[in-house]
Amino acid sequence: MGDNGTAAASNSTQASQVKSATRTLDIIEYVVAHGRPLVAQEIAVALGIPVSSLSYLLGTLVDRGYLARDGRRYSAGPGLERLQARPGDFTLAERVAPLVRTLRVQRNETVAFWVRHGWEVEPVVTESSGQALRYAVDTGRRVPMHPLAGGKALLGSLTPEELDRFFAETRLDRFTPQTITSEARLRKQLADVRRTGFAYTDEEYTLGINSIGRVVTIGGDVVGALSIAIPKARYGETLAARATDLLARTAGLLEAS
């Protein structure tokens, strides 16, 4: 009886997911076919979708850019044009975004993709955890490399000559009592990053937050680094092991693209 109940629940969940996917496609096709902005009520009546479900689907489509909203009206969004673009037309951020989003969903922790600008890093794609206790990363803000997992991952990819330049041209400022400001200690940690492929921080940029980073290379060139930020209250060996595994898989998908 228990097995039958589990199977029924699984089938019900799959049917619900298929129904949601079908409705999403129906909404896009209906709005595009009309060629004029439509209000939610028009879409709900035409497609027979409850308003409560429609509001969520419309919000998701607007967030992803597949629909555009102007007041109460919805029309085709710029995301639909991206679907017709050739692979070479996508920016690095656009290629990374779906995988960052998936990584966030898998662990429900804050995920970011960082790129290097000189001796600073900038998050170009971020996805915040949906949990009550979470850490947010703002895109477009450049920050020092040494206190961040993404920054350390990128530092670990530098040549010995480049690393010498980094230490000669930058200051290891302190952001928390845990920030590593000793060149010798940081060099030792970066040697571990090169050996293991992963960088770790322990409340070094923000108190209460631990992070794990992994560099990403495409075509043999370092293009950036992925990181997962986890509140220390949830951080532990098991969670860290799962996070490093997901980071490695996600980076591998980017590197194979």
> What pLDDT does 95 receive?
83
Count Cβ atoms below 10 Å from residue 123 Cβ, excluding itself. 23
State which residues of the chain have pLDDT below 50.
1, 6-13
Residue 111, both tokens: 């995920």
> What pLDDT does 10 receive?
46
Has this prediction a pTM greater than 0.85?
no
Q: Where in the chain is the domain with CATH 1.10.10.10?
A: 2-82
> What pLDDT does 14 receive?
52
> Which residues fall within 8 angstroms of residue 142, CB to CB, at 6 or more apart?
117, 120, 121, 122
> How far is the CA of 21 from the CAs of 49, 53, 74, 242, in angstroms?
13, 12, 19, 29
The predicted-structure confidence for 223-247, as pLDDT tens digits, reads as follows 999 999 999 999 999 999 999 999 9
> What pLDDT does 113 receive?
97
Q: Does domain 2-82 have CATH number 1.10.10.10?
A: yes
CATH superfamily to which 87-255 belongs: GAF domain (3.30.450.40)
Quote the strand ranges of the chain, DSSP E: 38-39, 67-70, 73-76, 110-117, 120-127, 143-144, 198-202, 209-218, 221-231
> What pLDDT does 112 receive?
96
> What pLDDT does 1 receive?
47
